[in-house]
Chain A
Amino acid sequence: MKKVKADPKGVLTGSHYLDGDYAIAEGGLAAGCRFFAGYPITPSTETAERFAERIPSVGGVFIQMEDELASITALIGAAWGGKKSMTVTSGPGFSLMMENIGLACMMETPLVIANVQRGGPSTGLPTLTGQQDMMQAKWGSHGDYEIIALSPDSPQECFDLTIEAFNLSEIYRVPVFVMTDECVGHMHEKVVIPPAEEIEVVERKWYEGPKDKYLPYKLDKDGIPFMVKAGDGYRFHTTGLTHDERGYPVINAECQAETIPRLSDKITDNADKIIMLEEDQIDNAEIVVISYGITSRVSIRAVQLARKAGMKIGTLRLKTVWPFPEKRIKQLAKKIKAFVVPEINYGQVVLEVERCAAGKAGTYHVPHMGGWVHDPNDILNVIKEAAK
């Protein structure tokens, strides 16, 4: 993995007062994103607007596509053309992208998609918040594969984690999702953008061997193949069909048995390196509140109230939601009484917590159907119930 300093052209160094949507765009530009294709959808449009305004001045390209199917396809093309590329969308657009997210996984294409979640299903609550696409991010396209999903809790983290998303997508050649929500997307807060020389970005692993020897899916020792830029004189083939190291279709069980585990294992085998967690007062905790995104901030208020009442509460914030931190949750399940999982949906990430707790610790969900964030008292009440 080759780490370099960020290209100063894309880095708007300084303190700013930005919303989460703008901060995603600034994070992308700082990470070296030079291709954006998208279709406007509330509440993510501001990211696209910011890209449209800023990307020409850093030598990049912005295209407003006819729809989200075209957007994700353009991203795949741009990535194989050598660019770091991203798009932004919300629920309905995310649904439309699903087929070719699978193509990106199969072709092992690095790209970043930010989903500023709103209430669903269907057009649902266009202008109001939700966290209802978390399982879709993991399972939305057909077949077996793994992706990476990050969940920022503030405009500052929208900036930071979008850079991280690009770096992870380059290291593992996989689509990475920035799963934020309307609340964080439209919330303005201070965002500090460091100088370019303090921002580390991962460069694509370019093939440098002889032109006639390039095999697009021949594995390097880390299990990740090299890439080339389409148009640089390499002849190669890539496809969504199950393929061999030449990238040619091989439609049989043997090739499938070689390919499919690798697509997942390159992520799960490196889960410890990928997963970012934030823990607080977890050592003596009886109850651990697990949350992500905006809900983690709202939870802290409930946790503060519970601690005031003398309860031993720890918090575990998932900055990385996928791959899921199952190792850590299995460890904790042996030590604590129960997990409390608030999220703005009818029960998604809680199912993973329950699976990992495996009956060793209780699992309590605090659902919210979307449209607003939790009332901290609702979380507090479930914490009390879990402690009984």
Chain B
Amino acid sequence: MAEIRFSGFGGQGIIRCGLITGKALSLYDNKHATMTQSFGPEARGSACSSQVVVSADRVLYPYITTPEILVSMSQEAYDKYEPELRDKGILIIDTDLVKPKPIRGKIQMYAIPSTRFAEQLGNRIIANLVMLGFFTAVTKIASPEAMKKALPGLVPGRFLDLNIKAFDNGYDYGEEVLKTATKKKTTKSKK
């Protein structure tokens, strides 16, 4: 069982991140995944979030309580949701948009300039897909195949290729980050 929160500000495609992840897990990765979203006046323009509860069995309680994965694409969302992230959890941020506090406990942090990468690919609107690719690589909660299979219907058809490109871009960066992290660890242990 895992609890995931995607957070950012309204318009970044944060709800879409939850939908794509939930759909990928439920329809193509053979898991149970319940997606809920913050729904209220506060969701418009300021901090917004979507939550996915993932389980091998049926999800009973639909909301997250102490997430082990927090994805933050804005400072406000990070400030709001970081305190609930559980110890040993995974924190994923857009490095240009979030200035994190010193890491607390055994939280593992992964950072990517997802918005900058999206701009390099031609459109900052696909930053969420870069982030999703990165998220998929570092968490391994969902398979990249399932995530990409989930895209049709959830992104505009004419931009499907661009969205897949953005996903791959983030995924490859995530793989690289993981490799570097393992290398560092091995060098450290050798010492």
Q: Give the interface of A toward B (CB within 8 A).
A: 15-17, 43, 127-128, 182-183, 186-190, 294, 297-298, 300-301, 372-373, 376
**Which residues of the partner chain A approach B62 to less than 8 Å between Cβ atoms?**
183, 187, 294, 297, 373
Q: What is the bound-complex CA distance between A297 and B19, given in angstroms?
A: 21
Q: Smallest Cβ distance from B49 to chain A, in angstroms?
A: 13
Q: Per-residue CB proximity of B1-40 to A under 8 Å, as 1/0?
A: 0000000000000000011001100110000111111011
Per-residue contact bits, chain B 51-74, to A (CB 8 Å; 1 contact, 0 not) = 000000001111100000000000
B39 near A189 with CB under 8 A, answer no
Q: How far is the CA of A182 from the CA of B34 in the complex (A)?
A: 14
Residue contact A15 to B27, C-beta cutoff 8 Å: yes
A122 CB to closest chain B CB, in angstroms? Answer: 18
List of B residues within 8 angstroms of A298 by Cβ: 60-61
Pick from A17, A301, A372 the residue with the most CB of B within 10 Å: A17
Q: A373 and B35: CB pair below 8 A?
A: no
Contacting pair B33 A189 (CB below 8 A)? yes
CB distance from B116 to the nearest CB of A (A): 30
Where chain B touches its partner, the secondary structure class is mixed
A43 contacts B39, C-beta separation under 8 Å: yes
**Would A17 and B61 be within 8 Å (CB), given that A127-B40, A190-B26, A190-B27 are in contact?**
no
Identify whether the interface residues of A are mostly helix, strand, loop, or mixed.
mixed
Contact A17 B19 (CB under 8 A): yes
The reply to whether B26 and A186 form a contact with Cβ atoms under 8 Å apart is no
Distance of A44 from chain B, by nearest CB (Å): 13
B26 and A373 form a contact (CB under 8 A) = no
Distance, CA A157 to CA B63, complexed state (A): 19
Residues of A within 8 A of B18 (CB): 188
Shortest Cβ distance from residue A46 to the other chain B in the assembled complex, whole angstroms: 11
Taking the closest CB of chain B, its distance from the CB of A371, in whole angstroms, is 10
Q: How far is the CB of A215 from chain B (nearest CB, A)?
A: 50
Known: A17-B26, A17-B35. 4 other contacts (CB 8 A): A187-B36, A189-B59, A373-B62, A376-B61
A108 → chain B closest CB, angstroms: 38
Q: CA A43 – CA B59 in complex, angstroms?
A: 22
Residues of chain A within 8 A of B26, CB atoms compared: 17, 189-190
Nearest CB to that of B15 among chain A residues?
A188
Is the CB–CB distance between A373 and B63 below 8 Å?
yes
Known pairs A17-B19, A127-B40; A301 contacts B60 (CB<8 A):
yes
**In whole Å, how far is A183's beta carbon from the nearest beta carbon of chain B?**
6
Smallest CB-CB A-B distances: 7 pairs: A17-B23, A188-B35, A190-B26, A127-B40, A297-B60, A301-B60, A300-B60
